[in-house]
Structure 1
């Protein structure tokens, strides 16, 4: 089933993309072209910042995907405030909680010692926030790689196994802050690389290929979904 939070796929294509394209293969190619075109400017802007903020995450997404989506740089609180978004059984943050989740990740990540000790926890909170209707993985990898470089290391994403990484990330999302993703990433920590663009482009899964995609779990007014959000909050420090 097509992810269609706007309810106008037939008229405007996937997520109102500027080409009004519906074919998934073409959408993937267009997304990747937008990403690779914007990545230099995205890294350059982040490197000018003393400490990264939520606004910087929004700007990074806009820079990476503004050639593709008219809503680039707008989070789900703006674009889809009334729906619950999930993937593979994982319910992402309530739109009202996105900023808190990302800011908690940045609080950890802006501290170099904490970033070195807990890169997986930082990634987990960035992933849980899931600010955007598309382009989350690439956006948070750019942000995460910048934080890691500042902390004196890089994750060798090209050496990781995509399936194993996603399994560890899913467990981190379900049981945050227990070191699950930290432990997975530890063997892949390397001295900081200088060329972050080449480092990121070498990462698996960023060439437009898709595994599972986002789905609309239901309305945020649904009592069952509200209860699930509440259970998530009890596990986390950010909300």
Structure 2
């Protein structure tokens, strides 16, 4: 098994440095972007349609299962915590510190918040507050080297299944989402997050769910995966929107790579 214990170990060496190592052995970033988008989009559809076995335990294991399923065709480390510290958008704060095991701390907060909330009884404003609090902790955990946004999107919809709402991310702009996510980060050298900036966002994207679709228990899926292996030809599939939500290498803490904070869309 490959060793992913350093920033460089996630990337191909020169002249392909900057491209994440991947199962298709694609060295061109654009090719990888297309391949990843098509593969993950298909797996995401399976998860959201409920055709995959996912234990909705709302803890670290749940988050890992989602990531492992979404990125199983792309990265050998799918479902594994990142081994390096990261930041995005030039933020001096960075995400959860690997050395002090903050990832598990934040995901423990996520589990406590989800399990301690009576989601089925929440009105829109209350749902917006509760969902924002959960996501702020999940986003700060940022458990994986790549794909945190898409993993969080599925996880938050699993949370929303316990309520009278579903999540319509098209109701907010990427800029609105990114700014609110960035503002929820803790102060430098501090632990607590600030979910207040995300409350208007989650209140806005909360769409009323058909009552028959609500799942107050939030239990494990009992449906087996009907399509365990899908072949994705590099560079194939639709091309008009392949770069949307595409994978780009993240940045070591303290190094700016542009504003892509928050959830990939």
TM-score by length of 1: 0.72
Cα 1:104/1:5, change in 2 over 3 Å: farther
Q: Does the residue aligned with 2:184 lie in a helix, a strand or coil? A: helix
* Greater RCO (CA < 8 Å, at least 6 residues apart): 2
What is the CA–CA distance in structure 1 between the aligned matches of 2:135 and 2:205, rounded to whole Å? 14
Q: CA RMSD in A?
A: 3.1
Matched, 1:20 2:25: yes
Cα 1:212/1:169, change in 2 over 3 Å: farther
Name the structure with the higher helix share: 1
Question: Which residue of 2 is the match for residue 186 of structure 1?
Answer: 203
Q: Does the residue aligned with 1:73 lie in a helix, a strand or coil? A: coil
Matched, 1:162 2:179: no
What is the CA–CA distance in structure 1 between the aligned matches of 2:52 and 2:85, rounded to whole Å? 30
Maintained 8 Å contact 1:31/1:208: no
Post-superposition offset of 1:89 = 2.6
Equivalent residue pairs, number: 202
| Structure whose CA Rg is larger | 2
What is the CA–CA distance in structure 2 between the aligned matches of 1:141 and 1:7, rounded to whole Å? 24
Cα 1:15/1:183, change in 2 over 3 Å: same
Maintained 8 Å contact 1:5/1:15: no
Post-superposition offset of 1:20 = 1.9
Residue among 68, 88, 98 paired with 2:74: 68
Question: Which residue of 2 is the match for residue 150 of structure 1?
Answer: 162
Post-superposition offset of 1:108 = 1.2
What is the CA–CA distance in structure 1 between the aligned matches of 2:41 and 2:54, rounded to whole Å? 20
Structure 2 spans left out of the alignment, 5+ residues: 1-5, 188-192, 215-240, 255-265
Matched, 1:32 2:33: no
Matched, 1:104 2:109: yes
TM-score by length of 2: 0.66
What is the CA–CA distance in structure 2 between the aligned matches of 1:122 and 1:62, rounded to whole Å? 21
Maintained 8 Å contact 2:166/2:209: yes
What is the CA–CA distance in structure 2 between the aligned matches of 1:151 and 1:164, rounded to whole Å? 24
What is the CA–CA distance in structure 2 between the aligned matches of 1:50 and 1:212, rounded to whole Å? 28
Residue among 41, 47, 52 paired with 2:58: 52
Residue among 114, 118, 136 paired with 2:130: 118
What is the CA–CA distance in structure 1 between the aligned matches of 2:196 and 2:34, rounded to whole Å? 35
What is the CA–CA distance in structure 2 between the aligned matches of 1:134 and 1:211, rounded to whole Å? 7
What is the CA–CA distance in structure 1 between the aligned matches of 2:139 and 2:245, rounded to whole Å? 18
Cα 1:148/1:206, change in 2 over 3 Å: farther
What is the CA–CA distance in structure 2 between the aligned matches of 1:136 and 1:142, rounded to whole Å? 10
